[in-house]
């Protein structure tokens, strides 16, 4: 064990001797006592000044800095580096070789560790967000499982990895094509995709699509406009033996999701993990021990699961279904009103749409919100398929490629809104640049478009228009223009459904790719601090046809109406 060293306590230099006799006065002075921490940053001889201070701080707070990684002794791994650098320091080849009981955390956990709680919030790698347990459940003599023999140090990481960046390695696309796909190639990703969608936190005022919730999908995972969220995906298991438990926990999770408190967001994350495990469980849960054995299920959640099993309901739902929830959901139905705005209106005393319209409590609406309130019922009513046929298709240029997307393209009888994708082949040297303003003017003249809500820059080949159209009632409509070379990826993205898209992106991520509405990319470099931040976009390997993207990902091609069941 290393000897206690001079450290830093809340910015003030201290040493181990000065701590003696003070531990009884403050429960937080030795909050790391009993923990054996491997800090990725080198030993004290060669470490930087910042690393030295941090390692000394661990000692000052009662922890032990372990000079060499030993899975049978280490309780926590602290790292600010990328995956490649961390694995090199550990002498491992992949993160999965780390025992599940040992969490890999960022330094922020040490700063907040006085509560000794919520390790998953500070996971250094999203693939290990479930690693570790609450410290209260760690027994001194508990044997760690999953330990592996030390392996030789891997080859030196690339320049990006050596700098602490995470590089998404990818297989050879040609080799990927030779892999024979399984009957349900997205099955293993469906449970995670559905749980991720169920737990998505929508708190932005302008209802930006996505999220998310920090997930393995990263910022590329987005919800297509008008997605039919009740539709099962390609890989849905329609005979889940624990579906009633999942439905009840999802309802409870939704109630917490609708609240603003940080504690509620933590509960959302916990229920998300439990739901994911329940979807993957092939046996009916019949005991609290069985529930407790599921990954991500703690004692309190296990008790809730057993209450559902034994009574068919959960009393906690009635407790959490407070009056503000229904009002906030009502307000969120207004265009361009997010959770924060809805709660602000509630705090101002508004309880009905009439209160908002009358400006109760000093509430003021933007022009877009006024339109959304005026046509609230129409906008929030699903659109019959034949009504979409009355409005579109359009006739502009014989070479323009136009498709009605979303639920319509999937063959649904009704649509949440009307999504139109427009692009144009460039073989004659022309593009669709500048076409959107002309199209909007033509549609207004024909009284197809009635109100404009928002439009992105018309100078780009990739633009988005939001507005209302009719021939009967006001309907929400999005017109999207995309570059011709991105049409395949855009067709997948804007067709959906939501769970299918998430599953497909999860599969791409597992294969080392990144998939979004612009294409399938390889070699993307992401920030180790925030994987939603791309430091390098990577190289595009497929984008022009849906078939090419499906083939590289090993997913059999299906027509849009065949991608979902039921």
The DSSP code sequence of 519-564 is EEEES-EE-SS-TTSEEE--EEEE-S-HHHHHHHTT-----GGGSS
Domain ranges of the chain: 7-137+152-162
Spatial separation of the C-alpha atoms in residues 354 and 357, rounded to whole Å: 5
The answer to whether the beta carbons of residues 455 and 466 sit under 8 Å apart is yes
CATH number belonging to the domain at 7-137+152-162, selected among 3.30.310.50, 3.40.50.10190, 3.30.420.240, 3.40.630.30: 3.40.50.10190
pLDDT score for 254? 87
pLDDT score for 114? 53
Look at the block and give the residue holding tokens 């997605």: 227
The answer to whether the beta carbons of residues 31 and 116 sit under 8 Å apart is yes
pLDDT score for 270? 85
Spatial separation of the C-alpha atoms in residues 158 and 355, rounded to whole Å: 59
> Which of 501, 566, 508 lies closest to 227 in space, CA to CA?
501
Element (H, E) at 488: helix 487-495
DSSP state of 328: H
The answer to whether the beta carbons of residues 543 and 518 sit under 8 Å apart is yes
Q: Per 3-state DSSP, what percentage of the chain is helix, strand, and coil (rounded to 5)?
A: 40, 15, 50
* Max Cα-Cα span within the chain: 85
Spatial separation of the C-alpha atoms in residues 328 and 486, rounded to whole Å: 38
Backbone angles phi, psi at 12, to 5 degrees: -110, 130
The answer to whether the beta carbons of residues 56 and 98 sit under 8 Å apart is no
Q: Is 469 left (phi over 0), alpha (psi -120 to 50) or beta?
A: beta
Look at the block and give the residue holding tokens 């040609």: 174
pLDDT score for 528? 67
> Which of 494, 365, 522, 492 lies closest to 419 in space, CA to CA?
494
The dihedral sign for the CA sequence 323, 326, 332, 338: positive
Look at the block and give the residue holding tokens 């640049």: 433
Strand 383-384 to 534-536 pairing: unpaired
CA distances 287 to 230, 274, 311, Å, are 30, 15, 13
The separation between the first and the last C-alpha atoms of the chain, rounded to the nearest angstrom, is 61
pLDDT score for 182? 47
The answer to whether the beta carbons of residues 498 and 224 sit under 8 Å apart is yes
Token reading at 374: 């005026």
pLDDT score for 228? 39
pLDDT score for 88? 83
Token reading at 506: 């999860």
Look at the block and give the residue holding tokens 């290393």: 2
Please identify every stretch of the chain with a pLDDT value under 50, giving residue numbers as ranges.
1-27, 42-46, 115, 134-182, 201-238, 565-566
pLDDT score for 120? 73
């Amino acid at each position: 064990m290393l000897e206690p060293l001079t450290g830093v306590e809340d910015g003030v230099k201290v040493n181990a001797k000065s701590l003696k006799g003070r531990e009884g006065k403050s429960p937080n002075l030795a909050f790391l006592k009993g923990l054996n921490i491997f800090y990725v940053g080198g030993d004290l001889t060669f470490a930087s000044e910042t690393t030295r201070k941090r390692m000394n701080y661990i000692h000052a707070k009662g922890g032990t800095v372990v000079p060499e990684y030993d899975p049978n002794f280490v309780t926590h791994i602290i790292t600010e580096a990328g995956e490649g650098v961390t694995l090199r320091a550990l002498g491992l080849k992949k993160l999965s070789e780390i025992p599940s009981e040992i969490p890999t955390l960022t330094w922020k956990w040490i700063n907040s560790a006085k509560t000794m709680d919520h390790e998953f919030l500070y996971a250094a790698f999203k693939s290990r967000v479930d690693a570790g347990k609450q410290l209260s459940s760690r027994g001194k003599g508990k044997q760690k499982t999953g330990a592996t023999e030390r392996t030789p140090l891997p080859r030196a990481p690339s320049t990006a990895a050596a700098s602490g960046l995470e590089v998404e390695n990818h297989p050879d696309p040609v080799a990927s094509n030779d892999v024979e796909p399984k009957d349900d190639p997205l099955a293993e990703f469906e449970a995670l995709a559905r749980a991720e969608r169920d737990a998505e936190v929508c708190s932005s005022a302008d209802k930006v699509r996505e999220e998310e919730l920090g997930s393995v999908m990263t910022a590329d995972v987005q919800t297509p406009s008008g997605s039919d969220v009740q539709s099962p995906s390609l890989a849905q298991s329609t005979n889940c033996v624990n579906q009633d438990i999942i439905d009840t926990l999802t309802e409870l999770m939704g109630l917490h999701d609708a609240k603003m408190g940080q504690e509620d967001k933590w509960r959302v994350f916990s229920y998300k993990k439990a739901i994911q495990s329940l979807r993957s469980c092939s046996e009916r849960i019949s005991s609290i021990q069985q529930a407790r054995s599921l990954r991500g299920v703690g004692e309190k959640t296990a008790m809730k699961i057993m209450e559902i099993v034994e009574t068919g309901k959960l009393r906690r739902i009635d407790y959490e279904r407070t009056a503000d929830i229904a009002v906030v959901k009502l307000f969120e139905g207004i265009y361009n009103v997010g959770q924060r705005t809805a709660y602000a209106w509630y705090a101002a005393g508004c309880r009905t749409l009439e209160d908002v319209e009358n400006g109760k409590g000093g509430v003021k609406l933007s022009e877009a919100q006024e339109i959304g309130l005026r046509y609230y019922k129409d906008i929030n009513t699903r659109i019959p398929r034949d009504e979409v046929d009355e409005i579109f298709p359009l006739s502009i240029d014989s070479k323009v490629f136009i498709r009605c997307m979303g639920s319509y393209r999937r063959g649904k009888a009704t649509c949440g809104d009307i999504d139109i994708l427009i692009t144009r082949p460039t073989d004659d040297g022309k593009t669709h640049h500048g076409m959107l303003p002309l199209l909007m003017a033509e549609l207004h003249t024909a009284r197809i478009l009635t109100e404009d809500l928002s439009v992105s820059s018309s100078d780009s080949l990739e633009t988005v228009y939001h507005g209302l159209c009719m021939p009967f009632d006001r309907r929400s409509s999005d017109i999207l223009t995309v570059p011709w070379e991105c049409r395949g990826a855009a067709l997948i993205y804007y067709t959906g459904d939501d769970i299918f898209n998430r599953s497909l992106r999860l599969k791409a991520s597992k294969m080392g790719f990144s998939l979004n509405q612009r294409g399938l990319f390889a070699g993307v470099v992401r920030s180790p601090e925030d994987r939603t931040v791309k430091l390098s976009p990577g190289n595009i390997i497929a984008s022009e046809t849906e078939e090419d993207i499906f083939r590289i990902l090993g997913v059999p091609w299906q027509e849009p109406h065949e991608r979902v069941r039921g």
